[in-house]
Structure 1
Amino acid sequence: MKLLYTLALLFTLSSCTGQQSKSPIQKKLTDDQLLTLVEKQTFNYFWDGAEPISGLARERFHSDNIYPDKDKDVIATGASGFGVMSILVAIEREFITRQQGFERLQKSVNFLQKADRFHGAWSHWIYPSGKVKPFGKNDDGGDLVETSFLMQGLICVRQYFKDGNPQEKALAAQIDQLWKEVDFDWYRNGGKNVLYWHWSPNIGWKMNFAVTGYNECLIMYIMAAASPTHTIPAEVYHEGWAKNGAINTDFTLYGHQIKLAHNGEKNNVGPLFWAQYSYLGLNPKGLKDRYADYWKENTNHALIHYDYALENPKKFKGYGANSWGFTASYSVNGYSAHSPKNDVGVISPTAALASYPYTPKESLKMMRHLYEDLGGHVWGEYGFYDAYSETANWYPKRYLGIDQGPIVVMIENGRTGLLWNLFMSAPEVQKGLDKLGFTYKK
């Protein structure tokens, strides 16, 4: 959504052919070994590749050095939320020690506490100084969606450390205070029954972006309902996000039923990040309200992408059971929110890999093909590169933080449910879901 407004202008990419990765491809790994390798290598984006002052996630990293070094140090708020979750995965998988993870997270939380905030919400981009980096001409203040992605991750960190040693408990309390300072109610723009994406002390509500469903922003309404200090009434969700029921549709593609109108469309599905970003902590298994069964919805969303690649109506090279999945990513002509409706011959690995909980067999088959067959064309120091096109012979050696994070988190959720269990254990999350009329697994 909002990414398209500015990133499409920022990212004009030249074609390049891939070279062999420095780390040799290991053939005949078991499924578990391959999953662990992909998690570990991708996690390194948020560890070795983190912005050094804050320890948080860079917006992007280009191994091909197309952009100057200064662009590598822009901190991405949403990707940082995904990154802190990946650190918990790394502790559990013993990629790092618990103490190493704690120290990095403490550094990051200290940074966030001092960084610019706008009624408790962080901006989309942050300089290493802690000052806001404008995302666009009129986007130089609080970003409630990116803040919700960040807080989803920080709530998981809080739950992970809340019963630990005194230092860990203090970190959990520090996160709790940041959480309580996010003024979700303010972002109703004067008490309207809808949440607004942006507010700036310089331009106020000029962006005028009321967030309605269905798209990647469900988590913002869940977090707002869950807030212990600045909550919203249920009407904001039902009248704003769900548009008094207009969020619903009922159609079938490739035999898979869809009940939610993706950005208001009644007969198509959007990019796959809509089935991922809100569900890194929010467990879709058993999650239902009056509008949808979110496990069925997300699984069918992923299967439609898979079956579309099998059909391959535009006859792009390489599409099929081994190469599928469309989402917002780099593209052959800039940046694009790829989907079956917006197919330009580009595959984004994060789309299928972060769908692992929904489509484990299909995602694993794709993962193995990427690793064993395409190899160094798509595999680098921080896992799989952001996107590729066999049709265009286009294999850019570039990463986006917001695409790398869901790979680590959703693979782990599919394997152990780690982040789902942590987030759903938060008492205020449960109260928020109850308020909005959800049923869910506790």
Structure 2
Amino acid sequence: MALAVLLAVSPAAPAPDNVLTTYAKDTWKSMVAMVDPATGLPADKIEGTLDPATRAKVTSPTNIATYLWSTVAARDTGIISKREAEQRVVKVLQNVRKLERHEPTGQFFNWYDPHTLALVTTWPDSGDPVAPFASSVDNGWLGAALLMIRSAVPSVARDADRLVRSMDFSSYYDPQGAAAQGTGLLRGGFWPVKPAGCSVESDYNDSGTTVYSTCHHYGAMTETRITSYVGIALGQIPRAHYFGMLRTHPNDNCDFGWAEQRAEGSWQTFEGVRVFEGTYGYKGMRLVPTWGGSMFEALMVPQLVPEDVWGAKSWGRNHPVYVKAQKTHGLDDAKYGYWGFSPSNNPAGGYREYGVDALGMDTDGYTSDQERTSVDYGYGDCRPAKPEPTAYGDGVVTPHASFLALRYAEKDALDNLAKIKKDFDSYGPGGFYDAVAVQSKTVAQQYLALDQGMIMIALGNRLTHDKLRGYFASRDVERALKPVLSQETWEVRP
């Protein structure tokens, strides 16, 4: 009888969909607060109070992309009407067309004033000069959002299609970038005017205009693959380029002895390109790493691209194990009591890359605590291993990482978020604040357009049965990408 009474008076736990819908409604408030009413473009970030006076005075192609797909997510989850969503998207596209671009390539620069639309050449806070730079990954996110908008908002389909096709992603494609694999790689971006540091003169799209590309390429299978997907989908980059990117470095000599660990794997050939199908080990698991070891690098792309469906034996195997490894690190290895590590605002001030060092290819990869506690497993006879850490410090978790993990470990992700919300002053008028240092209980009480946009698209997909991914995966995009992604089988182990 006592048990019956207890059950009668105890409130039922909220249904997951109700919880997720509440999160979506609150997160959307932060996106709306970041929008400049004059132009409809979002700021880069805003303080946790959502006071319009605290909006950043800059925006980027990535910020604009996150706002576009967040608007669609808000519409499809019933937070806003179809009419409001269309009005917001129309206003964005009208003003994006007014932004100054690098005309020979159609690429957007990194920073604009969201109120005036002017190109930022002086940083608002410090007065430091800003050299205009076209980033391949920032333009990749905007290109991906425009491909999605074509299907999501039929009234602007033609405008979105025309705009994305005016962006020439071949301007980043160096055909000699992966000469050993027989294919090219993407440069990180370019400056129209020669910068003070390292640069390479280039004219990859044969426009007759010299630009000054970054000295580095994007060679790993990290978040930058979104630009590869967009370029391949538009027919601007050869599809074989996908196989030129590293899964891991080959393990046959000490040339790659700087890498985080020596991979296990074998050589395979796809479309004439030799690919080393390698994996890293972590706590009994085997997985394909990212560059730094963060959730953003691994799981932002599949919020738009159904790579775990099209690449069921590669990405479809890897993504769940990556989530499990992040969880294992936070709960069992570092013993923070929480998990989810990804670049975010630093609770101590500024911005920092956070991740799980062991899950990244870079020896000096992203770390999960403020003390930058790292691992070094060595590299065979090339580099001796160091003892593993006996303890970790002030771990920093960011809620957007748990939202990215929803697809692969929903209960664990929801439990983690509920615990973060209960144990810290981590939730405000616009949803979860950006990051929490769990030992010091310090909270970064800001909202970033990128991080809130990741939350919105993850929630939008979950609550609408992947409608947002479906918008990106139109027939022409599927025809271009699915045959590429479907070829590999990665020896991933949970």
**TM-score, structure 1 as length reference:** 0.80
| Equivalent pair of 1:248/1:261 in contact (CA under 8 Å) | no
Which of 1 and 2 has higher RCO (CA within 8 Å, sep 6+)?
Answer: 1
Aligned position for 1:369: 419
Q: Distance in 2 between matches of 1:31 and 1:261?
A: 30
Aligned to 1:57: 42
The farther-off stretch of 403-412 and 176-185 is: 403-412
Residue of 224, 229, 233 corresponding to 1:226: 233
Per-residue deviation, 1:433: 0.8
- 1:106-136 Cα shifts (integer Å, max 9, x gaps): 0000111111222122122221233333689
What residue is the counterpart of 1:122 in the other structure? 108
- Alpha carbons 2:65, 2:142 under 8 Å: kept: yes
| Counterpart Cα distance in 2 of 1:138 and 1:211 | 23
Q: Deviations over 1:362-382 (max 9, x none)?
A: 1111222233x136x111121
Tell me the number of residue pairs that the alignment of Structure 1 and Structure 2 aligns: 388
**8 Å CA contact retained: 1:225, 1:432:** yes
The change in CA–CA distance for 1:255 and 1:393 in structure 2 (over 3 A counts) is: same
1:163-191 deviations in whole A, cap 9, x for unaligned?
Answer: xxxxx1xx110100011111111222587
Give matches, 1:89-238, under 5 Å. Answer: 89-118=73-102, 119-128=105-114, 129-133=116-120, 140-162=132-154, 168=155, 171-189=156-174, 193-203=184-194, 204-228=211-235, 231-238=236-243
Q: Report the 3-state secondary structure (helix = DSSP H, G, I; strand = E; otherwise coil) of the residue aligned with 1:47.
A: helix
1:266 counterpart residue number: none
Alignment partner of 1:132: what SS?
A: coil
* Change in 2 beyond 3 A, CA 1:249/1:111: same
CA contact (8 A) 1:221 1:237 kept: yes
Distance in 2, Cα, partners of 1:249 & 1:255:
15
Separation (CA, whole Å) in 2 of partners of 1:326 and 1:366? 12
Alignment of 1:420 with 2:469, yes or no, is yes
Kindly report the root-mean-square deviation, in angstroms, between the aligned alpha carbons of the 2 structures: 2.8
Structure 1: which 5+ runs fail to align?
1-25, 163-167, 264-268
Find out whether 1:388 has 2:432 as its counterpart: no
Which residue pairs with 1:274 in the alignment? 297
Matched, 1:359 2:359: no
Name the structure with the higher helix share. 1
Distance (whole Å) between structure 1 residues aligned to residue 173 and residue 407 of structure 2 = 34
Does the Cα contact within 8 Å between 1:51 and 1:73 map onto a contact in 2? Answer: no
Q: Does 1:287 align with 2:310?
A: yes
**When you count strand as a share of all residues, which structure comes out higher?**
2
Using a 3 Å threshold, how does the CA distance of structure 1 residues 296 and 414 change in structure 2: closer, same or farther? farther
Residue 31 of structure 1 corresponds to 16
CA gap 1:248/1:400 in 2 versus in 1, 3 angstroms = farther
| Contact 1:225-1:435 at 8 Å conserved across structures | no
Q: 1:78, 1:70 → 2: CA distance? A: 20
Displacement of 1:225 in angstroms is 0.5
Distance 1:206 1:282, change over 3 A: closer
1:393 offset after TM fit, Å?
2.6
Cα gap change, 1:157 to 1:351, in 2 (>3 Å): same
5+ unaligned residues in a row in structure 2: which ranges?
1-10, 178-183, 195-210, 250-272, 358-366, 370-394, 489-494
1:95 positional shift: 1.0
Match of 1:325 in 2: 340
What's 2:64 paired with?
Answer: 80
Cα deviation, residue 261, structure 1: 3.9
Q: 1:153 Cα shift?
A: 1.7
Displaced runs of 4+ in structure 1, greater than 6 A? 135-138
- Cα distance in 2 between the residues matched to 1:130 and 1:435: 40
* Larger of the two Rg values belongs to structure: 2
Contact 2:346–2:444 at 8 Å: present in 1 too?
no
